[in-house]
Amino acid sequence: MEWISVKDDLPECWSQHGNIFASGYLLTWDSYNEFEVDQYSKKGKHTSGGWVKESEGWDSGNQVTHWMNIYPPKQ
């Protein structure tokens, strides 16, 4: 597995918890040169026209620069 720059790609948000879609846990590297286990989430609300995104970002609030899956993707 290799580090992925947030400039190149962001993780897919597939896990739904109410009005939040999350990536599941990932290993992240931030601008302070620290590792952390974090999630990328998209928060929104359900409307008559479908789900509307209100915000998105890393749950820790840190300035993540790179991320990688903790576990290999399912084949």
Tens digit of each residue's pLDDT (9 = 90 or more) over 14-64: 888 888 999 999 999 999 999 999 999 999 988 898 889 999 999 999 999
**56 close to 12: Cβ distance less than 8 angstroms:** no
- pLDDT exceeds 80 at position 74: no
What pLDDT is recorded for position 72? Answer: 65
Q: Is 8 left (phi over 0), alpha (psi -120 to 50) or beta?
A: alpha
Residue 1 binned pLDDT confidence (cut-offs 50, 70, 90)? confident
Beta bridge partner(s), residue 69 = 26
Global pTM reads: 0.83
